[in-house]
Amino acid sequence: MAGFTVAKELRGRGFAGAVTIIDPAGVPYDRPPLSKDYLLGTRDQAGIQLAAGDWFKDQDITIITGTAVALEPDVGTVVLEDGREITGDRVVLATGGTARRLPIPGGDLESVLELRTREDADRLRAMLKPGARLAIIGAGLIGAEVASSALPFGADVVLIDPQDPPLIPAVGHELANRLHAMHPERGVDVVTGAPVAITADDGGTHHIEMVSGETIAADAVLVGIGIIPETRLAESAGLETDNGTIVDESQRTAHPKVYAVGDSSRIRRADGTLLRRAEHWEHAMNTGATAAAALLGQELPRHGASWFWSDRHGVHVEGVGSMAGEGTVIVREKDGEPSVVFRLDPEGFLAGAAAVDGGFAVRAARRIIDRRIPVDPAQLADPMVDLRKLAR
């Protein structure tokens, strides 16, 4: 998403020079559907491409199917696995991340699944059959989405996480509880605890040994415990990395020819503050747009507070800003359940919000955060108060 956005924005902003995208998958595709409609089979390969093949031709953007293994920043040369060398006046690293493996015996078994690529989704879907038992380790965003998507296949799903509920930093305690409670209500078997080892027997059944001594048997095991930013190219170029390739607010690394965007990048502000690395779709798009503007010496676009969404069990979750940190939490209820949760920072300004089926509320909250509009906690909590009015 981030690399594609750089290319698209460069053309949109009038750049007429050569643009080359290098990726082992060739034409770039969107990842969020991999745990949602692509996994369900309601969207196909063509449906998840970020643009059709013709679009790249029309835009005169070259796609090279391959993996870069080294970067020589002074000359702008990228060396590919097959020995090819591509040289550019500028190089943008948009390498995303790789799935974190479980650091336990058996965590590195080839048969233990992850979900980052289309091939991963195809492999997972092939396992989803009526009565097949799928164990998902990690009940964060992706684990929960897969649990939900696996149910229509008739699979028996067991969802394992040491936290109960998970996702508090993303959506706050109240919504995290509500969302986690949906799993057993929909027929997912939820296990709270830490796995300590995984083995696979000759029949292909996996056995997950838990710290409690319990063993969980499954036909397939998926691990969804986050990603590790892919920074090897940056490292090969001697660039600074710290859980991401370090860039300034224009997405430029310390080397004037090299930029980094998306999940693999981490911003250090001009005042030296190192921001948390974001791993969301919109952030990938925003950082791609910023890099394109910076590459062309144009004014940098302004982006609002960070935003993400997730879909599970028929509900749509959105979050904006940060729900983690000090301050006051305010809950807005609907039908006796928390529907929007807000965090006010210690100074009383809105710092984060999350909602279930509350896109309007989150959009309004984003405006309130971005403009530092003072808000009355009682009004935030009152479901009769239209948040859009508070955002004006």
Ligand X SMILES: Cc1cc2nc3c(=O)[nH]c(=O)nc-3n(C[C@H](O)[C@H](O)[C@H](O)COP(=O)(O)OP(=O)(O)OC[C@H]3O[C@@H](n4cnc5c(N)ncnc54)[C@H](O)[C@@H]3O)c2cc1C
Q: Which residues bind ligand X (CB under 6 A)?
A: 1-3, 22-25, 31-32, 34-35, 67-68, 94-97, 115-116, 142, 230, 233, 262-264, 279-282, 284, 308-310
Between 309 and 349, CB nearer to ligand X: 309
Closest CB 207 distance from ligand X, rounded Å = 26
Between 9 and 263, CB nearer to ligand X: 263
Does residue 165 have a cis bond before it (omega within 30 degrees)? yes
Closest CB 17 distance from ligand X, rounded Å = 21
d(CA 116, CA 32): 9
Between 20 and 192, CB nearer to ligand X: 20
Helix (H, G, I), strand (E, B) or coil at 29: strand
d(CA 235, CA 323): 32
- Residue 150 identity (one-letter amino acid): A
Between 284 and 293, CB nearer to ligand X: 284
Closest CB 333 distance from ligand X, rounded Å = 25
Closest CB 374 distance from ligand X, rounded Å = 29
Closest CB 221 distance from ligand X, rounded Å = 16
d(CA 293, CA 162): 43
Closest CB 375 distance from ligand X, rounded Å = 25
Phi-psi region of 251 (alpha: psi -120 to 50; beta: other; left: phi over 0): left
Between 34 and 369, CB nearer to ligand X: 34
Between 29 and 342, CB nearer to ligand X: 29
Long-range contacts, 190-196 (Cβ 8 Å, 24+): 190/139, 190/158, 190/159, 190/161, 191/158, 191/159, 191/160, 191/161, 191/216, 192/160, 192/161, 192/162, 192/163, 192/164, 193/160, 193/162, 194/162, 195/102, 195/104, 195/137, 195/160, 196/104, 196/105
Helix (H, G, I), strand (E, B) or coil at 316: strand
